[in-house]
């Protein structure tokens, strides 16, 4: 039997590193045609609804609020998310990122809810208002840390020392670190969550491969094809009486009429600043919220780097990240004014959607911000979409968070993978990023409080919250090791030289193309 011919020389060459991601249909500066852009924008709006509903559903009942308060908080988060997304895409990083609610702020908010000074309040409505004002005060103080670090340029100096190697654990765990919101969420109502997960994989990955017509359509609008199918199926199960004798928890997750948002939402209402009353301040709670705000800043830095890749832009310069963080701080300030009981950070699932659709256009995300504001004012219509059962969102998250984790790993193309130093830093940082938060979260689940447990709840939060964040722990370990271990000898191994031209905004013409401010504002706010 004849031997196989020897491989050609070019076949043995590794894949060359690419400064910009190829294969993106519409990059950051090239918008799709208007009809397509509007539909894609609506798709981004639908995807960000999951987090927008999950957080108030967890917090508002504990604060003493009912369905009406929950619907108003969802509306307010939507409204402020729309404004913050517009601010970030016009004046911040200018990346196609949705600025929505953030899970990292949930823990300190629960500490405020459990604070002793609210526990003797008998009237639930009054307790809700007082707690809300407490969160507003804490968020006002917390926003200052991002505004100062961002706009002063201090954060730019931190990001300048980031290399592709230290970015890998940070960006990867921004996506992979949210695994608890993936299949565990699907399993809460597996007969709805699993079909969504399987259908989305089929529509976005297999149909474009099999069909010769409309290839792009199924991949690009997979979310809008699959959600109605599964939602209708869930509706049929609900009215068919499938959950008649099910436990209350199953009914909440599976039925389409259990969110309580439709009944609680007004037809038309415009959220306004201080709608719950004047904020109240507590020094301890403010410190805890400031620590949390810093963790959100680190996580968003990783998310910005991932989004720049899927937008087919070059690496985002440190000064632009710093500018984006400053505007994110203003976003948290707006959250505190309007009273969302939550802070703002980059919506990770929407970065995954950029990858799924292969559309990284800024205009699409700006249109989605318009939908957020529109549906937050028309309460009943917004509540209709917001009452999609949450396991459907969890099914989509399995794909979106995986895409974001994958883009983090893709920065390894700039590193020397045959170096023991690279293997140690990458492996150790990712392992610790998963292992340390696992201990903190497991301890909290069993004991009801974190490993650091003193009389001062705010102090506990300042230690427990950072070490419960997977991207923060992984990013911190990688950053410290990468900047202290054999730094001079390992310049090429860590890929540091690849990002040299993007460390200063003016070194590469493409930075100006992708990240310059609109309306000639760069004259007044130069980027370094």
Q: Which among 247, 230, 265, 261 is positioned nearest to 391, based on CA atoms?
A: 230
pLDDT at 523: 67
Burial of 519 (0-12, 13-18, 19+ CB in 10 A): exposed
Cβ atoms of residues 89 and 83 within 8 Å: no
User: What average pLDDT does the segment 218-236 reach?
Assistant: 94
| Residue pointed to by tokens 């949390």 | 292
| Residue pointed to by tokens 């917004």 | 382
Q: Which among 379, 389, 349, 381 is positioned nearest to 74, based on CA atoms?
A: 379
Radius of gyration in angstroms for the set of CA atoms belonging to the chain, rounded to a whole number: 23
pLDDT in tens, 455-513: 888 899 999 999 999 999 999 999 999 999 988 888 889 999 999 989 988 888 899 89
**pLDDT at residue 214 above 80?**
no
d(CA 199, CA 322): 39
**pLDDT at residue 256 above 90?**
no
Cβ atoms of residues 361 and 31 within 8 Å: yes
Q: Is 27 helix (H, G, I), strand (E, B) or coil?
A: coil
Cβ atoms of residues 349 and 148 within 8 Å: no
| Residue pointed to by tokens 């765990």 | 173
CA torsion, ordered 90, 91, 96, 98, to nearest 10 deg: -100
d(CA 334, CA 368): 19
Give the sign of the dihedral formed by CA 336, CA 340, CA 343, CA 348.
negative
φ, ψ for residue 345 (rounded to 5)? -150, 180
d(CA 317, CA 404): 20
pLDDT in tens, 5-56: 666 766 778 888 998 999 999 999 999 999 999 999 999 999 999 999 999 9
- Taking phi first (over 0 means left), then psi (-120 to 50 degrees means alpha), and beta for anything else, what does residue 452 get? beta
Cβ atoms of residues 269 and 72 within 8 Å: yes
d(CA 423, CA 13): 22
pLDDT in tens, 315-371: 999 999 999 999 999 999 999 999 999 999 999 999 999 999 999 999 999 999 999
pLDDT in tens, 261-307: 788 888 888 999 999 999 999 998 999 999 999 999 999 999 999 99
Length of the chain: 528
Q: Which residues of 448-457 are buried (b: 16+ CB within 10 A; e: fewer)?
A: eebeeeeeeb
pLDDT at 172: 97
| Residues of the chain by 3-state class (helix, strand, coil), percent to 5 | 70, 0, 30
Contacts of 394 (CB under 8 A, 6+ apart): 50, 181, 182, 183, 184, 185, 186, 188, 193
Tokens (6 digits) for 291: 């620590």
d(CA 127, CA 277): 13
pTM score, whole prediction: 0.95
- Domain parsing of the chain, residue ranges: 34-415
């Amino acid at each position: 039997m004849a031997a196989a011919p020897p491989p050609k020389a070019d076949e043995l060459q590794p894949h060359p590193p690419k400064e910009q991601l190829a294969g993106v249909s519409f990059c950051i500066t090239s918008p799709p045609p208007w009809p397509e852009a509007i539909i894609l924008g609506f798709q981004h709006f639908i995807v960000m609804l999951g987090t927008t509903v999950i957080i108030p559903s967890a917090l508002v009942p504990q604060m003493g609020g009912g369905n009406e308060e929950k619907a108003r908080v969802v509306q307010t988060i939507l409204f402020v998310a729309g404004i913050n997304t517009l601010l970030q895409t016009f004046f911040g990083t200018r990346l196609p990122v949705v600025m929505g609610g953030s899970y990292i702020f949930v823990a300190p908010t629960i500490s405020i809810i459990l604070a002793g000074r609210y526990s003797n309040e008998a009237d639930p409505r009054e307790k809700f208002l007082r707690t809300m004002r407490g969160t507003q005060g804490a968020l006002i103080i917390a926003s200052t840390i991002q505004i100062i670090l961002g706009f002063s340029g201090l954060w730019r100096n931190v990001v300048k020392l980031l290399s592709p190697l230290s970015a890998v654990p940070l960006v990867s765990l921004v996506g992979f670190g949210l695994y608890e919101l993936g299949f565990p969420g699907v399993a809460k109502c597996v007969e709805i969550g699993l079909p969504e997960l399987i259908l989305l994989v089929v529509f976005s990955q297999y149909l474009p491969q099999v069909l010769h017509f409309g290839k792009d359509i199924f991949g690009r609008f997979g979310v809008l094809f699959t959600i109605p199918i599964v939602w209708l199926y869930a509706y049929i199960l609900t009215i068919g009486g499938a959950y008649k004798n099910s436990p209350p928890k199953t009914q909440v997750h599976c039925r389409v009429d259990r969110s309580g948002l439709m009944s609680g939402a007004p037809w038309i209402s415009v959220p306004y600043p201080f709608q719950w009353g004047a904020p109240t301040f507590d020094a301890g709670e403010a410190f805890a919220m400031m620590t949390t705000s810093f963790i959100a800043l680190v996580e968003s830095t990783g998310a910005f780097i991932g989004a720049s890749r899927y937008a087919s832009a070059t690496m985002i310069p440190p000064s632009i990240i710093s500018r984006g963080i400053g505007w994110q701080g203003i976003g948290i300030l707006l959250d505190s004014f309007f009273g969302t009981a939550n802070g703002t950070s980059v919506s990770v699932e929407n970065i995954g959607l950029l990858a799924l659709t292969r559309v990284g256009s800024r205009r699409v995300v700006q249109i989605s911000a318009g939908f957020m504001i529109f549906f937050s004012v028309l309460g009943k219509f917004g509540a209709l979409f917001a009452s999609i059962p949450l396991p459907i969102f969890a099914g989509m998250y399995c794909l979106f968070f995986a895409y974001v984790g994958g883009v983090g790993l893709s920065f390894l193309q700039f590193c020397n993978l045959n170096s023991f130093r690279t293997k140690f830093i990458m492996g150790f940082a990712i392992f610790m990023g998963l292992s340390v938060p696992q201990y903190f979260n497991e301890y909290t689940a069993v004991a009801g409080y974190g490993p650091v447990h003193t009389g001062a709840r705010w102090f506990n939060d300042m230690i427990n919250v950072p070490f419960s964040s997977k991207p923060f722990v992984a990013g911190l370990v990688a950053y410290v090791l990468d900047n202290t271990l054999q730094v001079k000898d390992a310049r090429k191994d860590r890929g540091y030289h690849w990002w040299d031209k993007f460390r200063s905004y003016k070194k590469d013409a493409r930075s100006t193309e992708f990240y310059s401010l609109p309306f000639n504002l760069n004259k007044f706010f130069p980027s370094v």
